[in-house]
């Protein structure tokens, strides 16, 4: 007998990429290009701050998605690891001076501290049920927040600390000199240390994000998804569930600490409100839900939507209130002080129309059943 092929039976294998996936890939590519050329597309200081924040938070949210989306681990200690990286760099730059050696040493110590804590929490706590593990991580994060506030001689307390960064990243540093002896302007943007600092943030974030994409596409990512779907079955077929869960918890902690290093270098300030606050943890959770759990690209979409809303929704509402000043009730509803109300409405609508998150819902549509 001759073997049958799709051609002889009249069936063909459909290798077309579903339309939903193409939309997600297109949006992520557009976001990536906007971030790559952000200094030239959006040269004002506020827009560059938004772009840098988006870069860092994409890494932070994607690393958290490794836990909650790919492995089913609910942790409230992610900002603790983020803060350890940030405080490590901040303390080193404050005590050692503005040098790359301080960033390297302080960052390394922050990452090591995050890794050690992650190993301890993982080995001691990941055997318990999910809700108890979540409570343990919440307690750990709360303790770290208290320590950062109380050890003011080292951390600056509630006020945090400001510090200088290497002169290479200073706006006064000329990267490329023009004919007039000043920094060469490329498409109207000065080639100085500020530009170098932004691309340090962008390239660091890009490398970390690509590393996470490689992790989820590797055999480790497949095992993590198996553990998420059925932990008992994964253990029955020979996988050491606690070891794998601890490993990904440590990887996510290290990546979060590295994101903290980048953020601290960009801000030149580190304090509890920007590194350890529970508000940041809530933002991360919202970004994951909006973008879609279990999709790295969902982190990109969730971070962009949430960050743009946080920075520009009030301005948009103010413009809307001014435009409808003669209309009854509308200007009052669009009062910028009510921006959190409208942010909540937008979040509810997104969850209603995209129950698996924007990326998760779109990437699920059109897939072959």
Q: Is the dihedral of CA 6, 8, 9, 12 positive or negative?
A: positive
Please give the model's pTM, rounded to 2 decimal places.
0.89
Closest by CA to 303, choosing from 289, 319, 314, is 289
Mean pLDDT of the chain: 86
Whether residue 368 has pLDDT greater than 60: no
Q: Three-class SS string for the chain?
A: CCCCCHHHHCCCCCCCCCHHHHHHHHHHHHHHHHHHCHHHHCCCHHHHHHHHHHHHHHHHHHHHHHHHCCCCCCCCCHHHHHHHHHHHHHHHHHHHCCCHHHHHHHHHHHHHHHHHHHHHHHHHHCCCCHHHHHHHHHHHHHHHHHHHHHCHHHHCHHHCEECCCCHHHCCCCECCECCCCCECEECCEECEHHHHHHHHHHHHHHHHHHHHHHHHHCHHHHHHHHHHHCHHHHHHCCCCHHHHHHHHHHHHHHHHHHHHHHHHHHHCEECHHHHCCHHHHHHHHHHHHHHCCCCHHHHHHHHHHHHHHHHHHHHHHHHHHHHCCCCCCHHHHCCHHHHHHHHHHHHHHHHHHCCCCHHHHHHHCCCCC
pLDDT > 90 fraction of the chain, expressed in percent and rounded: 41
Average pLDDT estimate for 215-242: 84
Whether residue 129 has pLDDT greater than 60: yes
Residues in contact with 112: Cβ distance below 8 Å, sequence separation at least 6, in sequence order: none
Rounded Cα–Cα distance for residues 263 and 257 (Å): 10
What pLDDT does 15 receive?
59
Rounded Cα–Cα distance for residues 260 and 59 (Å): 10
What pLDDT does 16 receive?
62
Rounded Cα–Cα distance for residues 164 and 143 (Å): 28
What pLDDT does 12 receive?
55
pLDDT band at 204 (very low <50, low <70, confident <90, very high): very high
């Amino acid at each position: 007998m001759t073997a049958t092929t799709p051609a002889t039976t009249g069936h063909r294998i459909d290798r077309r990429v579903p339309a939903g996936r193409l939309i997600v890939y297109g949006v992520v590519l557009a976001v990536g290009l906007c971030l790559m050329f952000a200094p030239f597309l959006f040269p004002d200081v506020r827009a560059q701050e938004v772009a840098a924040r988006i870069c860092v938070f994409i890494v932070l949210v994607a690393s958290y998605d490794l836990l909650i989306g790919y492995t089913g681990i609910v942790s409230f200690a992610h900002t603790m690891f983020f803060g350890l990286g940030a405080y490590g760099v901040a303390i080193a730059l404050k005590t050692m001076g503005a040098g790359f050696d301080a960033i390297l040493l302080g960052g390394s110590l922050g990452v090591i501290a995050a890794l050690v804590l992650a190993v301890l929490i993982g080995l001691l706590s990941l055997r318990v049920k999910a809700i108890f593990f979540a409570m343990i991580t919440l307690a750990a994060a709360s303790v770290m927040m208290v320590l950062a506030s109380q050890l003011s001689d080292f951390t600056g307390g509630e006020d945090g600390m400001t510090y200088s960064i290497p002169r290479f990243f200073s706006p006064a540093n000329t990267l490329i000199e023009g004919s007039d002896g000043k920094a060469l302007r490329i498409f109207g943007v000065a080639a100085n240390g500020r530009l170098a600092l932004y691309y340090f943030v962008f390239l660091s974030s890009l490398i970390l994000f690509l590393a996470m994409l490689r992790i989820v596409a590797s055999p480790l990512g497949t095992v993590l998804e198996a553990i998420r779907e059925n932990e008992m079955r994964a253990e029955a077929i020979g996988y050491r569930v606690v070891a794998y869960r601890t490993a990904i918890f440590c990887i996510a902690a290290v990546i979060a600490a590295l994101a903290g290093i980048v953020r601290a270098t960009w801000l030149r300030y580190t304090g509890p409100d920007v590194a350890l606050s529970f508000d940041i943890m809530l933002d991360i959770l919202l970004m994951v839900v909006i973008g879609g759990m279990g999709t790295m690209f969902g982190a990109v979409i969730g971070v962009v939507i949430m960050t743009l809303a946080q920075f520009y929704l009030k301005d948009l509402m103010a413009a809307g209130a001014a435009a409808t000043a003669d209309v009854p009730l509308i200007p009052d509803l669009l009062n910028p002080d009510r921006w959190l109300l409208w942010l909540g409405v937008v979040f509810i609508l997104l969850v209603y129309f995209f129950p698996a998150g924007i990326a998760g819902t779109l990437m699920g549509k059109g897939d072959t059943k």
